């Protein structure tokens, strides 16, 4: 799978013909590149809802995407949709809902915002305030969500809302499918990195939907959320591994070709040891990802493994970017090289899908603390 997908970088340039730095500078969404990847890669994954997708296949695909696509914002946008929205949707949707939405979510025609986080609650599903109230056989939806990926381009959303305050998260959270224009887009944020992926607010003001807009059963939101986070944390970790591999190879090539004092800098132990450490860390990250990927959808819970993956791989992702920049010296700090952009993108990886601190809390809780 990886060998098949490696040429995607050249294909993207030929098909989309977009300047990543130009898009990055102006926060522009590369729609042609999105269409190409979704239709030619993601749509061919076995995600039909009849059974859990193959975790190894999905993670191989996202590792290859991270390796081949140097636009971290585009890769993240694709990951957020596929891993946290489309896969949970496929697993919980009715046949009628799948017929209406699934193929278009997979091929990118439908762009789905995943609306979970709230300003005061963060991603703590136990502290949500946005509401879904029963009203004459329908549901009245109200609330504001923040940090919603793909919000500017979204023509649908999966929104997590409190449907029964007394039950709390265990039985009191329900997920609704909300089509545009039944939600409003609030502020979209200027960001340090991932600039080609829009992130912002989704607003519901007395939006009325029927029971057919409910994803899964009423009160099933916590289970859907857990499924989404397991897939997103492991799948995005695979994507980081691909990006780290690409940057590592760039560092090796640069270390061979950059000559100082008549000697390639890679011959200096200060540089060669960085190369050796990065190679070891990337290999360890890859092993952790695929151990977790092999269990996705096959074991009752992979949440602890997903959190360990997310914590370990995202921290090493930042470290690899920093080491590659250090090897490139002043050149690494320049926009002519992609490293400074990758480093800015990488810093988000320890924040979205649950911060590193949240992952440590989850791991500690699974350890009995």
Task: In whole angstroms, give the CA distance from residue 313 to residue 244.
Answer: 10
What's the token pair of residue 95? 């046949």
Instruction: Give the count of beta carbons closer than 10 Å to the beta carbon of residue 129.
Output: 14
Instruction: Give the count of beta carbons closer than 10 Å to the beta carbon of residue 168.
Output: 15
Alpha helix (H) residue ranges in the chain: 2-5, 8-16, 20-25, 31-40, 55-68, 72-81, 87-92, 95-97, 103-106, 169-172, 221-257, 269-295, 303-328, 339-347, 356-366
Task: In whole angstroms, give the CA distance from residue 56 to residue 292.
Answer: 9
Question: 325 with 343: CB under 8 angstroms?
Answer: yes
Of 355, 368, 285, residue with least CA distance to 117: 355
Of 35, 141, 140, 159, residue with least CA distance to 85: 159
What's the token pair of residue 266? 């890679």
- Tell me the DSSP string of 228-272: HHHHHHHHHHHHHHHHHHHHHHHHHHHHHH-EETTEEGGGSHHHH
Task: In whole angstroms, give the CA distance from residue 161 to residue 248.
Answer: 42
Burial 28-61 (b: 16+ CB within 10 A, else e): bbbeebbebbbeebbbebebebeebbbbbebbbb
Known catalytic residues?
A: 232
Q: Classify 31 as helix, strand or coil.
A: helix
Question: 101 with 146: CB under 8 angstroms?
Answer: no
How far lies 187's CA from each of 84, 201, 364, 368, in Å?
Answer: 22, 5, 35, 40
């Amino acid at each position: 799978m990886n060998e098949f997908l490696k040429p995607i970088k050249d294909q993207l340039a030929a098909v989309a013909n977009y300047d990543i730095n130009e898009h990055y500078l102006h926060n522009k969404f590369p729609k042609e590149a999105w269409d190409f990847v979704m239709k030619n890669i993601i749509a061919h994954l076995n995600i039909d809802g009849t059974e859990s997708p193959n975790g190894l296949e999905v993670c191989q695909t996202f590792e290859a995407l991270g390796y081949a696509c140097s636009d971290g914002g585009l890769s993240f946008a694709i990951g957020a949709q596929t891993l946290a929205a489309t896969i949970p949707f496929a697993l919980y949707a009715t046949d009628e809902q799948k017929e209406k939405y699934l193929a278009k979510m997979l091929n990118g025609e439908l762009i789905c915002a995943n609306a979970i986080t709230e300003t005061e609650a963060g991603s703590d599903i136990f502290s949500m305030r946005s509401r879904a109230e029963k009203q004459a056989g329908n549901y009245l939806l109200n609330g504001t969500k923040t940090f919603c990926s793909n919000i500017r381009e979204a023509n649908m959303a999966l929104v997590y809302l409190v449907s029964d305050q007394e039950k709390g998260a265990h039985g009191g959270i329900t997920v609704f499918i909300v089509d545009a224009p039944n939600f409003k887009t609030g502020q979209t944020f200027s960001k340090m990195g991932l600039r080609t992926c829009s992130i912002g607010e989704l607003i519901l003001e007395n939006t009325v939907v029927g029971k057919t807009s409910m994803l899964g059963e009423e009160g099933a939101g916590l289970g859907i959320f857990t499924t989404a986070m397991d897939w997103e944390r492991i799948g995005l970790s695979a994507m980081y591994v691909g990006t780290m591999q690409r940057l590592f190879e760039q560092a090796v090539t640069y270390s061979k070709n950059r000559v100082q004092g008549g000697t390639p800098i890679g011959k200096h132990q200060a540089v060669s040891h960085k190369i050796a450490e990065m190679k070891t860390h990337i290999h360890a990250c890859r092993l952790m990802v695929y151990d977790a990927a092999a269990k996705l959808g096959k074991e009752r819970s992979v949440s602890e493994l997903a959190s360990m993956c997310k914590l370990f791989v995202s921290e090493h992702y930042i470290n690899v970017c920093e080491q590659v920049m250090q090897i490139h010296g002043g050149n690494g700090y320049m926009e002519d090289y992609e490293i400074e952009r990758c480093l800015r993108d990488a810093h988000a990886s320890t924040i979205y899908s649950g911060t590193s601190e949240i992952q440590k809390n989850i791991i500690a809780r699974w350890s009995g603390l």
